[in-house]
C-alpha cells in the first residue's frame, strides 16, 4: 500500500476535531505509554497540552534521545548547486516567478571550490541542492557533481526534485546515500494553490518519491513539512505517520524528519499560520516519543537561541554555517539565496557551543566504503 | 584476576568498551581509563581511518588499548568485508569486531550475513569477533568457521535492559570453546556481574558509560562489577534452593556421639 492510500484514511477535518477534543487525562495517559499508538501521538500533538505536561513530554523526549543517540549531534552543510527552477512555489526564493533572482548553476570549478570550502571547515557530510530544471541541473549533472565531490566527503545526500526509482538507483550507484524531500504540505486541497505550475504541482508524484527512493535502496530518507504553509498540526501528524510508514516498509533505511518553519513574510509570502516556539517544541518532542529511532534535524533557518534550547529535546542532526545561494561560500555575493538563515554562527562556533552544552559534534558518521566507493 | 586470552593474546581486563555516544572525547577517555579496559571498539564509519590526526583516534592510546575497529552500519556481508579490509589497509591490526546490522532501529545482527562475512574474513587472516544474536546454533557455526570469540547480545543495543537472553547465553557459554563476550544491552554493573557470574569470559559496554552524568565513575563501577562477577564465578556460586538452609546445621548435635 502506498502512503497516498494511508493518507486518505486520516481526513484532515476529523483529525482537527480530534486534536481539539483531547482531554488532559488523554494526554496524561499518552505520556505514560511505553510505545505510542497513532491515537497517543494525536494526544501529544494536541494544543490542549498544559505547561506541566509539556515539561514531562520534554523530559521523556530528552531521555529517549540521549539513550538512543548518545550525547552527540551530527553536523552537515548544504551545498547549493543551482537555483534554476521551473516551479512556481509561492513561498520559495527560487520560484520561476522571481525574476529578480540571479540564476546560477555551478560549473566544475565552482563545485570543487565550494566543496573545498566545506571540507576545510571540517564537514564530511554534505547535502547537495538544486531547484527543478533538468536541462541545467538534472540527473546527469548531479551524477557528475557527485563524482567530483565523492573523494572529499564520506556522505553525500541530495535535496533536489523528485525522480524515478531508476534515477535514484543511478545516483545511489555513484555514491549518494541519502535523500531529503519535503512534501511542504500534506493538505491536498492547499497544495495546488501553493504550487500552481511546474512539475512540482503533481502532489502524488512528490508524495511517493521517498517510496521510490526506498525501493532504490537509499540508506537515509528525510521528510518534512514546511510548517506554516497549511495547518501545522495536521501537517506534523501526517509527517509522523509518513515517517512511520517508511520505517516499516523500508526496514533497512534510516528515516529522519526536519522541521522547517516559515517565518513572518518570508520572501514576501505570508504564512497561513505562524508556528510558535512552544508549538515547535511540542511537536519535536511528540515526534520523538512516537518515533524513538527517527533522526530529527534542525537547520540554520531557526535562531541560534532556539536551536540551543531545542538541542537536548530530541535533535540528532544540525546544519551549521549554511549559505543557501549557489556559489555563496566562496566569493559569490550570495544574492541568489533560497531563504534567509537565522543562525549565522560558524561551524567552529557551533562545535564549541555543543561542547559547552555537553554534546560532541560528529563530523563523520558514514563511510563511502559502505556503498563500494573508493576502497 | 586470571587473564582473558583471545587469539593467543592475553588481557588483564575482562571489560571491553565502545566509544560511541560520549559527550566529548575527554569523557570517553576518562571512562575508558577508569574502567581499566584494554580493548576499545571504534566504529569505522565514525573515523577517518587513513588520517592519523583523526580526532577520535588521537584520543585512544594505541600502546595501552587494542583498537578493535567495528563494522557497525554494514547492511550485509559485502559491506562489512569492505570495511574490514579498509581498516587493515590503513594499518590497523587484523582484528575486527564484525557487526552486520541491516535494520537501523533495533540494530540487531543479521545471522546469515554475519556468518557469511566471518567466513570470508577468517580466510583473509582476520581475528573475527562477531556481534551475534544469542543463538547457540549460530554460535556453533561461527566457532566452527574460526571466529576468535562469540559476542551474543544481552538485549538490543543501547537498551540497558540487562540479560534478557540469559537462558540462551547460558547454553552458548556451556558449549563454547572460545571466549564468550556478552555485548549490548548491559545497563548496570550488576548486569555485567550477572553475566560474569554465569561464566561469560568478558562483557562489552558503551551506552551505560556514555549516557550517564558521570562516565568516569560508571567506568569504575563496571570494572568492579566485572571483577566481582568473575571472582564469584571462579569461587563457584552455591546452588539456589527454595528453602532456607542454615550455614551451621541445626541438628548437628544429634550426630555428635
Q: Examine the pLDDT at B188 and tell me if it is beyond 70.
A: yes
Is the CB of residue B158 less than 8 Å from the CB of residue B129?
A: no
Torsion angle, alpha carbons of A263, A266, A269, A273, to 10? 0
Q: Please tell me if residue A358 touches chain B, with a CB cutoff of 8 Å.
A: yes
The pLDDT assigned to B150 comes to 97
The pLDDT assigned to A134 comes to 92
Q: How far is B84 from chain A, CA to nearest CA, in Å?
A: 10
Q: Considering only CB atoms, which chain A residues are within 8 Å of B83?
A: 367, 369-370
The pLDDT assigned to A375 comes to 42
The pLDDT assigned to A342 comes to 76
pLDDT digits (tens, 9 = 90+) for B83-122: 999 888 888 889 999 999 998 888 899 999 999 999 999 9
Give me the residue from B23, B102, B160 closest to A252, CB to CB: B102
Q: Considering only CB atoms, which chain B residues are within 8 Å of A362?
A: 46
DSSP code, position A371: G
Residue A211: all three cell numbers together = 517510496
Give me the residue from A359, A365, A375 closest to B46, CB to CB: A365
Give me the residue from A71, A247, A365 closest to B23, CB to CB: A71
Nearest CA in chain B to A364: B46
User: Are A72 and B23 a contacting pair at CB < 8 A?
Assistant: yes
The pLDDT assigned to B254 comes to 78
Inter-axis angle of helices A24-31 and A51-69, nearest 10: 20
pLDDT digits (tens, 9 = 90+) for B36-63: 999 999 898 888 877 777 777 888 888 8
Could you tell me how many residues make up chain A? 375
Residue A21: all three cell numbers together = 477534543
Q: Please tell me if residue A374 touches chain B, with a CB cutoff of 8 Å.
A: no
Q: How confident is the model at residue B223 (pLDDT cuts 50, 70, 90)?
A: very high
Instruction: Point out the residues of chain A with pLDDT beneath 70.
Output: 264-268, 332-336, 373-375
Strand A125-129 to B202-205 pairing: unpaired
Query: Which residues of B are designated catalytic?
Result: 97
ipTM over 0.85: no
Q: How many helices (H) and strands (E) does chain A have?
A: 16, 9
Rounded to an integer, what distance in angstroms lies between the CA atom of residue A214 and that of residue A208? Answer: 10
SS (H, E, C) B220-242: HHHHHHHHHHHHHHHHCCCCCCC
DSSP code, position A266: B
Give me the residue from A71, A247, A253 closest to B210, CB to CB: A71
Is the CB of residue B200 less than 8 Å from the CB of residue B181?
A: yes
**First CA to last CA distance, chain A:** 38
User: Are B20 and A66 a contacting pair at CB < 8 A?
Assistant: no
Nearest CA in chain B to A373: B82
To test the contact with chain A by mutation, choose from B20, B44, B45 the residue with the greatest count of A C-beta atoms within 10 A, namely B45
Residue ranges of the alpha helices (H) in A138-221? 139-149, 165-174, 191-194, 203-207, 209-215
- The three-state secondary structure class of A21 is helix
- The three-state secondary structure class of B168 is helix
Q: Considering only CB atoms, which chain A residues are within 8 Å of B47?
A: 364
pLDDT digits (tens, 9 = 90+) for A24-82: 999 999 999 988 999 999 999 999 999 999 999 999 999 999 988 989 999 999 999 99
Strand A72-80 to A360-362 pairing: parallel
The pLDDT assigned to A242 comes to 98
Q: Considering only CB atoms, which chain B residues are within 8 Å of A363?
A: 55
To test the contact with chain A by mutation, choose from B86, B109, B206, B211 the residue with the greatest count of A C-beta atoms within 10 A, namely B211
Amino acid at each position: 500500500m502506498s502512503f497516498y492510500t494511508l493518507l486518505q484514511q486520516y481526513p484532515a477535518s476529523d483529525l482537527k476535531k480530534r486534536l481539539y477534543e483531547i482531554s488532559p487525562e488523554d494526554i496524561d495517559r499518552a505520556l505514560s505509554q511505553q510505545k505510542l499508538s497513532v491515537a497517543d501521538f494525536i494526544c501529544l500533538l494536541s494544543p490542549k497540552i498544559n505547561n506541566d505536561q509539556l515539561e514531562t513530554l520534554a523530559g521523556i523526549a530528552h531521555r529517549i534521545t540521549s539513550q538512543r543517540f548518545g550525547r552527540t549531534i551530527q553536523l552537515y552543510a548544504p551545498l547549493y548547486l543551482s537555483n534554476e527552477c521551473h516551479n512556481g512555489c509561492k513561498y520559495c526564493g527560487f520560484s520561476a516567478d522571481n525574476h529578480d533572482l540571479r540564476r546560477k548553476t555551478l560549473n566544475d570549478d565552482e563545485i570543487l571550490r565550494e566543496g573545498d570550502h566545506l571540507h576545510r571547515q571540517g564537514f564530511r557530510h554534505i547535502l547537495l541542492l538544486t531547484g527543478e530544471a533538468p536541462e541545467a541541473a538534472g540527473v546527469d549533472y548531479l551524477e557528475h557533481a557527485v563524482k567530483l565531490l565523492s573523494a572529499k566527503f564520506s556522505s553525500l545526500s541530495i535535496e533536489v526534485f523528485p525522480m524515478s526509482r531508476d534515477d535514484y538507483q543511478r545516483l545511489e550507484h555513484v555514491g549518494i546515500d541519502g535523500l531529503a524531500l519535503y512534501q511542504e504540505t500534506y493538505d491536498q486541497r492547499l497544495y495546488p494553490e501553493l504550487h500552481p505550475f511546474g512539475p512540482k504541482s503533481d502532489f502524488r508524484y512528490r508524495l511517493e518519491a521517498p517510496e521510490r527512493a526506498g525501493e532504490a535502496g537509499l540508506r537515509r530518507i528525510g521528510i518534512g513539512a514546511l510548517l506554516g504553509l497549511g495547518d501545522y498540526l495536521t501537517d506534523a501528524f501526517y509527517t509522523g505517520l509518513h515517517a512511520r510508514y517508511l520505517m516499516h516498509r523500508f526496514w533497512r533505511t534510516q528515516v529522519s524528519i526536519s522541521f522547517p518553519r516559515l517565518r513572518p513574510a518570508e520572501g514576501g509570502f505570508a504564512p497561513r499560520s505562524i508556528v510558535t516556539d512552544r508549538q515547535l517544541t511540542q511537536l519535536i518532542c511528540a515526534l520523538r516519543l512516537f518515533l524513538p529511532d527517527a533522526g530529527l534535524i534542525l537547520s540554520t533557518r531557526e535562531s541560534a537561541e532556539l536551536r540551543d534550547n531545542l538541542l537536548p529535546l530530541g535533535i540528532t542532526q544540525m546544519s551549521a554555517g549554511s549559505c543557501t545561494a549557489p556559489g555563496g561560500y566562496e566569493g559569490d555575493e550570495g544574492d541568489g539565496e533560497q531563504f534567509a538563515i537565522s543562525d549565522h554562527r560558524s561551524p567552529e562556533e557551533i562545535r564549541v557551543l555543543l561542547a559547552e552544552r555537553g554534546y560532541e559534534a560528529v563530523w563523520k558518521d558514514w563511510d563511502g566504503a559502505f556503498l563500494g566507493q573508493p576502497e | 584476576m586470571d587473564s582473558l586470552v583471545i587469539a593467543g593474546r592475553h588481557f588483564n581486563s575482562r571489560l571491553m568498551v565502545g566509544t560511541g555516544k560520549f559527550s566529548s572525547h575527554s569523557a570517553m577517555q576518562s571512562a575508558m581509563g577508569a574502567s581499566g579496559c584494554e580493548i576499545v571498539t571504534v566504529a569505522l564509519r565514525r573515523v577517518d581511518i587513513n588520517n592519523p590526526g583523526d580526532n577520535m583516534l588521537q584520543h585512544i592510546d594505541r600502546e595501552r588499548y587494542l583498537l578493535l575497529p567495528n563494522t557497525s552500519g554494514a547492511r550485509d556481508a559485502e559491506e562489512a568485508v569492505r570495511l574490514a579490509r579498509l581498516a587493515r589497509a590503513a594499518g590497523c591490526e587484523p582484528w575486527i569486531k564484525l557487526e552486520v546490522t541491516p535494520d537501523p532501529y533495533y540494530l540487531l545482527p543479521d545471522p546469515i550475513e554475519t556468518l557469511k562475512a566471518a567466513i570470508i574474513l577468517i580466510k583473509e587472516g582476520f581475528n573475527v569477533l562477531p556481534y551475534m544474536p544469542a543463538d547457540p546454533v549460530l554460535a556453533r557455526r561461527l566457532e566452527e568457521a574460526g571466529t576468535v570469540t562469540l559476542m551474543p547480545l544481552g538485549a538490543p543495543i543501547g537498551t540497558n535492559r540487562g540479560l534478557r537472553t540469559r537462558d540462551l547465553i547460558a547454553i552458548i557459554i556451556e558449549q563454547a570453546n572460545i571466549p564468550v563476550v556478552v555485548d549490548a544491552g548491559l545497563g548496570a554493573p550488576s548486569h555485567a556481574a550477572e553475566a560474569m557470574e554465569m561464566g561469560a569470559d568478558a562483557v562489552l559496554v558503551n551506552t551505560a558509560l556514555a549516557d550517564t552524568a558521570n562516565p568516569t565513575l560508571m567506568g569504575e563501577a563496571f570494572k568492579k562489577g566485572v571483577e566481582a562477577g568473575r571472582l564469584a564465578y571462579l569461587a563457584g556460586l552455591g546452588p539456589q534452593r527454595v528453602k532456607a538452609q542454615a550455614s551451621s546445621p541445626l541438628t548437628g548435635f544429634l550426630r555428635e556421639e
